[in-house]
A = this chain, B = another copy of it.
Amino acid sequence: MKESAMSPTGDDIPFQKAEYDRRIATVKREMQRREIDTLLISEPSNICYLTGYEASSFYVFQVLVVHRDLEFPVYAGRFMDAVSVRRMTHLPPDAIRAYTDDYVQSTERDPVDFLVAQLREVCPTLESVGVETGAYYYSARTHMKLIKSLPDTRFVDAELMVNWIRIRKSPQEIEVMREAGAISDAMIRDAVDAASPKMRECDLAAVVYNRMIAGTSELGGVYASSPPYILTGSRTGEPHAPWTDRVIGTGTPINVETSACRRRYHAPISRTIFLGSPPDSYIRLADAVVEGIEAALELIRPGVTCAEVERVWRGMIARHGLHKESRLGYSIGIGFPPSWGERTASIRSSDQTVLEEGMAFHMMPGLWLGDVGVTITQSFVVTESGREDLTKYPRHLVIKP
């Protein structure tokens, strides 16, 4: 932690005020460009990006208000969480507005009414309000009610607006992602050490979780936005099913897809561990994946497009008669449940996003072929002239005879 803009590890607010001021200024410039005077942010990752707030209160109504003419954003949320907002952000007390508990999951009171009252009180104008129409925690009901409550306001769809600003990470953010990457590596090392045929799947998952949360002796972890995916046998053909109580058995691949998390920043990693002696066909499958990912990673540098990266991968695995229907990767950074992806750029043939320094991706060449699968992946940041890998675990099929 050499960066002066970074608070010491374990502090309540991850970054110094200047870092948040810079982010807010960028958002305000984009608001001006889109002629939005008031931005209502519902996505927890975006709230965290602009304030540092990372408590798990997003299951109830909360909004961060950014107004063109106000120095500070204003947080509106549940009273019992206001104390965490005070501790975990640089917001002044007056910028934290709390509703009482009888607004929570109630048929009598609606927190949207509370929000509207706050907006009328603190916002100098409400001419054009930007809302995140695709955010997980901005409901259809909230949107309809807001439109009704502010009849003279023009609503602008600001879906993913802050997410696209988040895509370029600052040096401070990259440092935290490196920390997450170090724990992710340890999670895979622990899984490889522990995996054995007589173990239940849930016990292997517990090993992975233990490291995710305990972290290392220097760096503790928090829960990732998504559970680890741990699938064995024929179920390696499925990406998102839960582990079970079953004993793993021998002669089987185990897909482990997971991520550590520091201050809500992620650095995901997947490896396949084969218990026993893999058939030649399976080794060839894994080799093809490794050949493909190595070629695609070679290409990473500013100026290249996501589509170009995917094309290289596609060409390499086609030589082996393979085809991957799903995207090859996605942008990563801050994440809250249900996902650690930023929902912006994807590494796929239709995505013309040009790579820039500071962008971070999880290159995810998982092949899930219905009855078998393999996943060997790499998280990285685009640097001035190439890339920096966020995890260091070697990219190959791990065979445990």
Residues of A within 8 A of B (CB): 9-10, 54-59, 79-81, 83-84, 87-88, 100-102, 104-106, 108, 131, 133-144, 157, 159, 200-203, 205-206, 209-215, 219-223, 226-227, 229, 235, 237-246, 325-327, 330, 336-339, 341, 343-344, 346, 348, 350, 368, 370
Contacts and interface: CB of A to CB of B under 8 A. Distances in A.
B215 A105 contact: no
A105 B343 contact: yes
Contacts of A102: 348, 350
A205 B213 contact: yes
A369 B177 CA distance: 35
A338 B327 CA distance: 26
Contacts of A138: 139-140
B238 A87 contact: yes
A338 B59 contact: yes
B210 A222 contact: no
Given A133-B140, A143-B143, A220 B244 contact: yes
Nearest to A219: B245
Contacts of A134: 139-142
A131 B133 CA distance: 16
B202 A221 contact: yes
A226 B59 contact: yes
B136 A141 contact: no
Given A220-B200, A338-B58, A326 B80 contact: yes
B220 A202 contact: yes
A225 to B, nearest CB: 8
Contact of A242 (B54, B140, B144, B338): B54
A235 B88 CA distance: 11
Given A9-B245, A338-B58, A238 B133 contact: no
Given A240-B56, A338-B337, A159 B136 contact: no
A208 to B, nearest CB: 8
Contacts of A144: 133, 140, 143
B239 A80 contact: yes
Nearest to A88: B241
A201 B220 contact: yes
Given A56-B338, A58-B338, A105-B330, 5 more contacts: A88-B241, A140-B143, A140-B144, A141-B157, A337-B337
Contacts of A348: 101-102
8 contacts: A59-B226, A80-B326, A83-B237, A87-B238, A106-B350, A140-B143, A206-B214, A209-B223
A237 B84 CA distance: 9
A139 B141 contact: no
Nearest to A228: B223
Contacts of A239: 80-81
B202 A222 contact: yes
A215 B227 contact: no
Nearest to A202: B220
Contacts of A241: 55, 84, 87-88
